[in-house]
Amino acid sequence: MAIYRRLILLIGILLLSACSSQYAYRLADWWLENQIEEYLDLNREQQQKLAEAIDDWHVWHQQEELPRYQEILASLQQSLEQGEISPEQILKLEEEAQSAWKRLLHKGGPLLAELTLDQDEKQRQQLYKQIEENNEELSEKFNDRSAEERRERGRKGMEKQAKEYLGKLSSEQKARIKQWSEEFQLGAEIELTERLRWQEQFRAVLEAPRDEHSQAKLMALFDNPRENWTEEKRQLTDINRPLQRQLFSDLLKLSSDKQKARLLKTLKKYQKLLEKMAQQKL
């Protein structure tokens, strides 16, 4: 569910400009509270409990997680300086990101699970309403688009993403992205079906009588989502993710010296930013 996934977006703050990122990180407590309360209609006591827990979480994140991110960036920079980055190295980065998500979940998840389970009937209905609105918004993005339009949208989105890090793309890089856009498996319907199926399980936990296992059942839905995936969802992921890793590796192979220098400069900027964020007073 998006409320838990948004915890990981604090890492995304690193992708902002250096000045605004430091400012944003200081305001992360306020930002995260607002993101959570977009879904959970909390009373005053619950709001206070959340605020205190987020203060503690923020200190932990600065002391424990930021140094880990510095190590990841240093390793990535070293690989770039040595030459290419293989699909296997990209997979390792994905696994490190997944580990970061798990640590964030295990640190902040129990409180979110507790607050979610403590919602009364009125609060739960507000939560369900927000979920439905998000489902409708997601569904509308694909209902009126043909397969060709979806592939074109994927191509444009990937070009935009690549340009942000590499600058102007060469004709060879654009051709490689076009090839990828023609190879990846379309799966919006599968993703939406999986999303709705997961939400049914989520609601079942919330609507069931509370017992000593309720929190563990809720946390399990977020901790190992792949275990509950349908075979279609697994196959879709197992096809598309390797294609994307190979694309990223190939784009770097096709990069000019100027593009590589730009990417290295960006990584160094992020490293300096992390150092400042780790030292600043919260």
pLDDT at 155 over 90: yes
**Mean pLDDT calculated for residue range 261-281:** 84
Euclidean distance between CA atoms 190 and 206, whole angstroms: 25
pLDDT classification of 175: cutoffs 50, 70, 90: very high
Query: What is the pLDDT at residue 16?
Result: 36
pLDDT at 34 over 70: no
Q: What is the DSSP string of 78-146?
A: HHHHHS---HHHHHHHHHHHHHHHHHHHHHHHHHHHHHHHT--HHHHHHHHHHHHHHHHHHHHHHHT--
Residues 7 and 15: beta-carbon distance below 8 Å: no
5: tokens are 């996934």
Euclidean distance between CA atoms 32 and 35, whole angstroms: 5
Q: Does the global pTM surpass 0.75? A: yes
pLDDT at 15 over 50: no
pLDDT classification of 20: cutoffs 50, 70, 90: very low
Among 12-26, 41-55, 127-141, 239-253, which is the least confidently predicted range?
Answer: 12-26
Query: What is the pLDDT at residue 4?
Result: 37
Query: Where are the chain's structural domains?
Result: 2-279
pLDDT in tens, 126-146: 888 888 888 888 787 777 788
Specify the higher pLDDT residue, 35 or 118.
Answer: 118
pLDDT classification of 279: cutoffs 50, 70, 90: confident
